[in-house]
Each structure stands twice: as structure tokens, then as C-alpha cells.
Structure 1
Amino acid sequence: MMIVGIAAVCVVLAVLAFLAPRLSRHPQRGAQRTLGLGSRAGGKAPGFLGRIFSKPFRSGSGAVSRSGGAGRRARGRLPF
């Protein structure tokens, strides 16, 4: 369920970054902040469980960052 949600956010951010690069920064930061909160909350579990619970949020945050950057990079490569 969480994978589908993060994938949907990544697709929306990539499209938004391609169509409006400057306007995509704020939603990207908001998504990363939300995932960071989840990562910190999951990391409070003791020991090994903390790493396991926080990992999906950390990898999701990285995916959000990469998709936004990819959309802006693709827009920058257009000839017009």
C-alpha cells in the first residue's frame, strides 16, 4: 500500500516538475518533510526494529527527490 502511494507521489511530482519546474519545489519539499517525519517516528523503535521501520520512509524520500529532479532535468534538455 505504501509503495503504491509513494509511486503515485513520484509520478505526480515528475509530471509537475516537467510542466512547472519552479512550482514543483514546494510540493517536493512537503513530501520529503512528511516522509522524514515517518522515518524519525519509525526510528524510535528499539534497535533493529528502528532501522527496519524507518527504511521505507528513507527510500521513499530518496525516490521523491530523484523523480522531481528527473522531471526538472528533462525539462531543461528540451530545445525550446
Structure 2
Amino acid sequence: MVIVAIVAVCAVLLVLAFLLPRLSRHPQRGTQRALGIGSRAGSSAPGALGRLLSKPFRSSSRAVGRSGSAGRRARSRSPF
């Protein structure tokens, strides 16, 4: 369920970054901030459990960042 939500957010952000590059930065930062809160909460667990609990949030945040930058990069390369 969570994976589907992250994929949907990345897809929406990709389209938004392609159509409105400047306006896509705020939703991207908000999503990354929310995922960062989850990552910090998960990493408060001791030892390897903390790394295990925070990893999905870190990788999701990285995916959101890559999705936004890919949309803006594709827009800059487009001929129009």
C-alpha cells in the first residue's frame, strides 16, 4: 500500500515538474520533509533496527527527489 502511494506521488511530481518546473519544488520539498520526519523517527530505534526502519523513508525521499529533477531536466531538454 505504501509502495503504491510513493509511486503515485513520484508520478504526480514527475508530471508536475515537467509542466510547471518552478511550482513543483514546493510539493517536492514538502514530501521530502514528511519522509524525513519518518526517517528520523525510525532511526531513533537502537542499532540495526533503526537503520532497517529508516531505510524505506530514505529511499522514498531519494525517489521523490529524482522524480522531480527528472521532470525538470526533461522539460529543459524539450524543444518547446
Normalised to the residue count of structure 2, the TM-score between the two structures is 0.98
Equivalent position of 1:25 in the other structure: 25
- 1:48 positional shift: 0.9
The answer for unaligned runs of 5 or more in structure 2 is: none
**Residue number in structure 2 paired with 1:38:** 38
CA separation in 2, counterparts of 1:46 and 1:78?
A: 47
Distance 2:5 2:46 in 1: 26
Matches within 5 A, 1:11-22: 11-22=11-22
Tell me, what secondary structure is at the counterpart of 2:79?
coil
Match of 1:4 in 2: 4
The alpha carbon displacement at 1:68 in A equals 0.2
Q: Percent same amino acid among aligned pairs?
A: 75
How far has the Cα of 1:2 moved from its partner? 1.4
Give, as a single letter, the amino acid of the residue that structure 2 aligns with 1:13. Answer: L
Give CA deviations for 1:13-72 in whole Å, capped at 9, x if unaligned.
000000000000000000000000000000011111100000000000000000000000
When the two structures are aligned, how many residues end up with a matched partner?
A: 80
Q: Which amino acid aligns with 2:20?
A: A
The letter for the 2-side match of 1:3 is: I
Q: 1:66 and 2:35 equivalent?
A: no
The aligned amino acid for 2:2 is: M
